[in-house]
Structure 1
Amino acid sequence: MNNRLADRLATVMFWAGALLVLLILGFLLGYILIHGLKDISWHFLTSPPQNMLAGGGIGPQIFNSFYLLLLAMLITVPVGLLAGIYLAEYASQSRVTESIRLCIETLSSLPSIVVGLFGLLIFVNMTGWGYTLMSGALALAVINLPLMVRVSEEAIRSVPPELREASLALGAARWQTMWRVIIPSAFPGLLTGGIIAAGRVFGEAAALLYTSGMSSPPLNFADFNPFSHLSPLNPFRPAETLAVHIWKINSESLIPDVRRVADGSAAVLVLVVLIFNLSARWLGRVIHRRMTAA
């Protein structure tokens, strides 16, 4: 076999692998959307599940999913970014650094159900919070921190060293170089890591079963007091996310139209993740252009 034939065979294999992935993804998306779009309506998207027997919807679950996403990312992104900066720029090869990397790799291999049980013991029981959004956000932060740390470290390491040297040669301090030169240059990679972490927040259910709970109190969306038990902004209240809601109604089957609600909820979850990813990438490109003056 000559080199030209080997190159063509390799190209065909690469294209076949890419097309296979696209076909599988297209089949899954098509199946979910075809079965679920017909059940989506404004009433379904805004009404609470308490009226499910009368054709209720998933309004509180959608809000809980976004609110949990906000809380989890407020914890994950700063901690993961700072840890990635330390490992990429400041840490030297030592036993401490190797221990940190070993801990990160160990955390990344933990099943989400194990993290959920850990969250039940620490964030739910030992803190006395009970099943709350904050407990779920901390559990999701434990799941996403290894990913965010590794992505941040690799994105920062990928910045050409000439940029660092030029900034330092012009008299900038090391932290100024990091903030004004390295992070803007590494922003696309950091954004990708943030989007992947956010997608895991939307789709996670196992860890949230033991931390944020499988039910939500009746919410008063006119109450903006974060200390009120019925306020949607209260982070210390039980909350059922959309992914947990899908699992719950399919496992319990206590409602007559479980198939309709499950199909519609799954379609909404897929659309929300898709719209969020596209919006985040568009916003990331805009911010990157402004930060780099490109």
Structure 2
Amino acid sequence: MSAKTADKVATAVIITFAGVIVLIMAGLLGFILFRGVGHISWDFLTSAPQTIKAGGGIGPQLFNSLFLLVLTMIITIPLGLGAGIYMSQYSKPGKVTNFIRLIVEVLSSFPSIVVGLFGLLVIVNIFGFGFSLFSGALALTVFNLPLMVRITEQAMASVPLAQKEASLALGLSKWKTIKSIMLPIALPIIITGTILSAGRVFGEAAALLFTAGMSSPRLDFGNWNPLSPTSPLNPFRPAETLAVHIWKINSEGLAPDAPEIAAGASAVLILTVLIFNLLARYIGRLMHKKFTATK
């Protein structure tokens, strides 16, 4: 076989594989959205679920998912930025640095059920936080932290070395160089990676079953006291997220219209993740244009 023929065959095979993957993903998304979009309404998005009659929605579960996302990113972003900057700018090559990178890679591949059991043993029981949003946020930090560290490290490493050396040559300290020169350049990549890692929070269920719990107290959305057990802003209350609700409604089947609720909730979950991914791309492009002066 000539080189030209081999190139055409390889190109056709690669295009075929890519097309199959696209068709599978499009079919999966289309099936979920087709089954669920018709059940989505304002009442469905804002009302509480019903267990003894048809109707109800996913309002508390959707709020819990968003609140859990905020709590998780409040913990993850500072830790991930600090560790990533240390790994890229302060750590010296050697066995210790390689060991830290190995630990980060191992954590990023941990099964979610293992993280959930770890959270149940350590966070819920030993530390005494109980089944709560805060326990779930700490467990999800175990998932997101390795990704944030790698993203920050790679973003800082992508800054041109000439700009760093020029800043140091002008007499700026290392921290000033990192803060004023390197971070603004690396910020578009960090923001994009942060939003993408945040999207993983919505789809996680196994770890939250053992940390955030499978039920929520009846929330009073007029009560904004974060210390009240019925306040939606209380981070130490049990909370059923949207992904956990989908699993629970399908496994228990107590509601008469459980299949419809599960289909609608699945569509909302898919749309939320899609919005996060599109938002990440859009913000990443805006930040890249701002800091690189490109059109």
1:120-162 deviation digits (Å, cap 9, x = unpaired): 1111111222100000000000111112212221222122212
1:129 maps to: 129
1:145 maps to: 145
Q: Describe the shift of the 1:88–1:293 C-alpha distance in structure 2 as closer, same or farther (beyond 3 A).
A: same
AA partner of residue 125 (structure 2): N
Structure 2: distance between partners of 1:52 and 1:291: 55
Q: Describe the shift of the 1:243–1:138 C-alpha distance in structure 2 as closer, same or farther (beyond 3 A).
A: same
Structure 2: distance between partners of 1:11 and 1:154: 31
CA contact under 8 A between 1:119 and 1:210: conserved in structure 2?
yes
1:259 maps to: 259
CA shift, 1:293, in A, is 5.0
Decide which moves more: 180-189 or 25-34: 180-189
Matches within 5 A, 1:120-199: 120-199=120-199
1:31 maps to: 31
CA contact under 8 A between 2:158 and 2:186: conserved in structure 1?
yes
1:181-231 deviation digits (Å, cap 9, x = unpaired): 222222233233213311211100000000000111111111111111111
2:76 maps to: 76
AA partner of residue 246 (structure 1): I
Structure 2: distance between partners of 1:74 and 1:284: 20
Q: Describe the shift of the 1:218–1:161 C-alpha distance in structure 2 as closer, same or farther (beyond 3 A).
A: same
1:215 maps to: 215
Q: Structure 1-normalised TM-score?
A: 0.94
Q: Describe the shift of the 1:40–1:87 C-alpha distance in structure 2 as closer, same or farther (beyond 3 A).
A: same
CA shift, 1:291, in A, is 4.4
AA partner of residue 136 (structure 1): G
Structure 1: distance between partners of 2:188 and 2:28: 28
Decide which moves more: 98-107 or 201-210: 98-107
1:77-118 deviation digits (Å, cap 9, x = unpaired): 211121111111111123321221222122122111000011
CA contact under 8 A between 1:140 and 1:201: conserved in structure 2?
yes
1:247 maps to: 247
2:282 maps to: 282
Q: Does 1:15 align with 2:15?
A: yes
Decide which moves more: 254-263 or 176-185: 176-185
Structure 2: distance between partners of 1:76 and 1:7: 45
Structure 1: distance between partners of 2:181 and 2:292: 8
Q: Does 1:111 align with 2:96?
A: no
Q: Describe the shift of the 1:51–1:93 C-alpha distance in structure 2 as closer, same or farther (beyond 3 A).
A: same
1:33-77 deviation digits (Å, cap 9, x = unpaired): 100011111111110114662400000111110110111111112
AA partner of residue 222 (structure 2): A
Structure 2: distance between partners of 1:2 and 1:185: 46
2:62 maps to: 62
CA contact under 8 A between 1:184 and 1:288: conserved in structure 2?
no
1:254-274 deviation digits (Å, cap 9, x = unpaired): 111111001000001011111
AA partner of residue 169 (structure 1): A
Query: SS of the residue aligned with 2:53?
Result: helix
1:9-33 deviation digits (Å, cap 9, x = unpaired): 3332332232222111100110001
Structure 1: distance between partners of 2:160 and 2:14: 29
CA contact under 8 A between 1:215 and 1:240: conserved in structure 2?
yes
Unaligned runs of 5+ in 1: none
AA partner of residue 146 (structure 2): P
Structure 2: distance between partners of 1:150 and 1:278: 21
Structure 2: distance between partners of 1:272 and 1:20: 25
Structure 2: distance between partners of 1:201 and 1:153: 22
1:234 maps to: 234
1:238-266 deviation digits (Å, cap 9, x = unpaired): 11100000001111111111110010000
Identity of aligned residues (%): 59
Structure 2: distance between partners of 1:168 and 1:20: 50
CA contact under 8 A between 1:191 and 1:284: conserved in structure 2?
yes
CA contact under 8 A between 1:191 and 1:281: conserved in structure 2?
no
